[in-house]
């Protein structure tokens, strides 16, 4: 009976050490800071560039060799605008416009 209690105590100690180590590891690996510019602010900045458009997509791109940016896609009529908004400064670093030639119609046969 004494041996069983020792195994239980040792086993509980190992579980506690592993769980504590996992928490410590997670805390050290998740050091990514939140962007200074929020998604809502990025959308407002994009709307100032393309008044009357609606946001069809927004993505946060971080890491790598380039600065963190919000990639905002807006649609206005038959135009699609893609903007990159710097997540630290709020400055628009890219603005690309594409014209939708088929006016939103899908002419492909989807059988």
At 18-57, the pLDDT tens digits run 555 555 555 544 456 788 999 999 999 999 999 999 999 9
Residue 75 · residue 56 · CB < 8 Å: yes
User: Is pLDDT of 77 > 90?
Assistant: yes
Q: Mean pLDDT over residues 65-83, rounded? A: 95
| Residue 81 backbone dihedrals phi, psi, to 5 degrees | -110, 130
pTM (2 d.p.):
0.61
Q: How far is residue 88 CA from its own chain's centroid?
A: 14
Average pLDDT over all residues of the chain: 78
Predicted local confidence at residue 15, as pLDDT: 52
What top-level class would CATH report for the domain 39-99?
Answer: alpha beta
Domains of the chain by residue range: 1-31, 39-99
């Amino acid at each position: 009976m004494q041996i069983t209690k020792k195994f239980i105590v040792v086993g509980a100690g190992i579980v506690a050490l592993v769980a504590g180590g996992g928490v410590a590891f997670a805390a050290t690996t998740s050091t990514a800071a939140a962007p200074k510019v929020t998604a809502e602010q990025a959308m407002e900045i994009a709307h100032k560039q393309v008044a009357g458009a609606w946001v069809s997509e927004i993505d946060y791109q971080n890491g790598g060799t380039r600065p963190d940016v919000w990639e905002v896609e807006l649609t206005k009529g038959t135009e699609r605008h893609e903007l990159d908004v710097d997540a630290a400064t709020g400055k628009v670093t890219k603005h690309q416009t594409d014209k939708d030639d088929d006016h939103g119609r899908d002419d492909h046969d989807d059988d």
